[in-house]
Structure 1
């Protein structure tokens, strides 16, 4: 056997070991962290969700950001706080947590909004206040723009609404590439992600420390599974194109909007929220002192108050596509 053949054999064996190891890691992660909610089949997609609070109360729908899952919003305290007064529905968005992400679709914010409009209809959720964090703000906006589903109000936290030059998002999109990305996700991507995860988490929560509940209870191993890394990489790749498309439609948002952003956000600049507030004159902007990207943890009471304000101003008999009172 030549030297070249020996090297190739060693490389191949190494890849096989990494692939089998990552498959085993995924199985172990799911056994350690089983689903915490229920499932609904909608439009060929199996969605994982939780429902809390009084089923007869006004409904609040929560969408998490890129790379996370339901547990993020639970650990922030938002789910429990809101469930004292409202019916709360929180989804794992496609590809995250335990929700599927079929490869037959391009999962833009609009595609996800189409899916969630159908899922919420199945769950008999009518005229909810929708809260989105980070990438979830784009899904919330896309849902509010739909003519076939009425939303009473939007609470948008730490969102990215206008395209800018962001090389970091493109660099994070490698695992989304066909074939090469698949190989990366089952070999080196989980290892690289595990290595950078502590720094990334500190950046997300800065300038505050990472909360003990998140540090001890968030299922990081689920976020490192190859299938979730694909979803996260795709959303990194889609972020700027989606943000380039939606501004043309922002004036079509006809429900009240509350915008929240941490002044110390090191991932998405607060100017994104300032610009959206200027574009939507009827919106209310709250820039939170000493808070970063995870403003949902830094100002949980304030965000819950923003939801409450929108529930109180919602029309008593809203019509599809109708304009809610400000």
Structure 2
């Protein structure tokens, strides 16, 4: 009886691991690498590099994606609107997308910031405006502290940079565990995750609309690959202790800084993180946009680009532009509500 039970467990493990491996290969075939791997010493880091165009009016821009993401997320938001204006580097953070993980230091924002700095050197980028979304905000802050000579300016988008009340989602804790984490990521993450991609991405954009082709273009399923999910979970699991220790040091940041956040962000608490950064970094400008959730990079791309221009020394009234974005979003929401409302004829049956 014990032998039969053991055999059943082994078969279950084999089937689960086999399914995850099969789907991981299928995801990589559906979303092949659009960047280029560069050996930066200790790991090969993946990035999509757009060289400086002759028409550039902005300094180089480095884009750092958030948790569960990859370089396609920021590429889809900014590559076209900024075409012809700047050299751009969209990075897969260590252990994400198609970048290798490297050493244990890359499980912390400080290690990932150092990796990005080495990648810049390999790509011949002396300094840049560093753009960090969500988890990428913690890396942007670390970059500003550790590599001020490479930092023209810092742009934080719905950042995660300060300690917060409560914990993290259970699946991050489980996935980061030594043995159970391996089993969880190889057996259950793929089937569960594939069913949650639609609702999960809608939730990240809420209360704003998610672009209809967002999943197709940004490949969020890449994070479901077992090794990538484990790396992602380790990043998130380490974040609280890291920012608790590092947040008091943000006053060391001297680079010009802009923080853009929404007042309806259900993923990251803007009152802790964004307002905390504005308090801690001398001279930082906080731009809070009403009616926006966790994705100002998509919901208010024009304001974000204006912030890049501002950091480059151009005159931009970011607060006025934020108000224009608020009015635009409110008008769009009202038009959607009107379109969704039943006509009087439908209500009365006439």
Q: Decide: shared fold, TM above 0.5.
A: yes
Aligned match of 1:81: 81
Report SS of the residue matched to 1:156.
Answer: strand
* Displacement of 1:79: 2.3
* Displacement of 1:54: 2.1
User: 1:247-272, CA deviations, whole angstroms, 9 ceiling, x for partnerless residues?
Assistant: 12101101110001111100111102
Quick check: 2:106–2:112 contact (8 Å CA) kept in 1? no
Structure 1's 148 and 74: CA in aligned 2 closer, same or farther, altered over 3 A?
closer
Report SS of the residue matched to 1:82.
Answer: coil
Q: Distance in 1 between matches of 2:23 and 2:170?
A: 26
Aligned match of 2:239: 239
Report SS of the residue matched to 1:65.
Answer: coil
Quick check: 2:175–2:230 contact (8 Å CA) kept in 1? yes
Aligned match of 1:98: 98
Superposed, 1:166-315 pairs within 5 Å as: 166-169=166-169, 171-271=171-271, 272-312=273-313
Deviation larger for 248-257 or 279-288: 279-288
* Displacement of 1:53: 4.9
* Displacement of 1:312: 1.9
Structure 1's 246 and 79: CA in aligned 2 closer, same or farther, altered over 3 A?
farther
| Alignment gaps of 5+ in structure 1 | 314-326
Report SS of the residue matched to 2:28.
Answer: helix
Quick check: 1:52–1:83 contact (8 Å CA) kept in 2? no
Quick check: 2:148–2:254 contact (8 Å CA) kept in 1? no
Quick check: 1:169–1:237 contact (8 Å CA) kept in 2? no
| Alignment gaps of 5+ in structure 2 | 315-350
Report SS of the residue matched to 1:173.
Answer: helix
Deviation larger for 179-188 or 298-307: 179-188
Q: Distance in 2 between matches of 1:147 and 1:137?
A: 15
Q: Distance in 2 between matches of 1:28 and 1:203?
A: 25
Are residues 1:155 and 2:136 paired?
A: no
Q: TM-score, normalised to structure 1's length?
A: 0.90
Are residues 1:33 and 2:34 paired?
A: no
User: 1:157-183, CA deviations, whole angstroms, 9 ceiling, x for partnerless residues?
Assistant: 111222122323454232122222112
* Displacement of 1:96: 1.0
Query: What CA RMSD, in Å, does the superposition of the two structures yield over aligned residues?
Result: 1.9
Q: Distance in 2 between matches of 1:171 and 1:223?
A: 13
User: 1:224-254, CA deviations, whole angstroms, 9 ceiling, x for partnerless residues?
Assistant: 1112111211111012112112212101101
Quick check: 2:259–2:278 contact (8 Å CA) kept in 1? yes
Aligned match of 1:319: none
Q: Distance in 2 between matches of 1:83 and 1:47?
A: 24
Structure 1's 183 and 149: CA in aligned 2 closer, same or farther, altered over 3 A?
farther
User: 1:116-160, CA deviations, whole angstroms, 9 ceiling, x for partnerless residues?
Assistant: 111111111112011000011111111111157420100001112
Q: TM-score, normalised to structure 2's length?
A: 0.84
Larger radius of gyration: 2
Deviation larger for 114-123 or 195-204: 195-204
| Structure with higher RCO (Cα < 8 A, 6+ apart) | 1
Structure 1's 147 and 23: CA in aligned 2 closer, same or farther, altered over 3 A?
closer
Structure number having the greater helix percentage? 2
Number of aligned pairs? 311
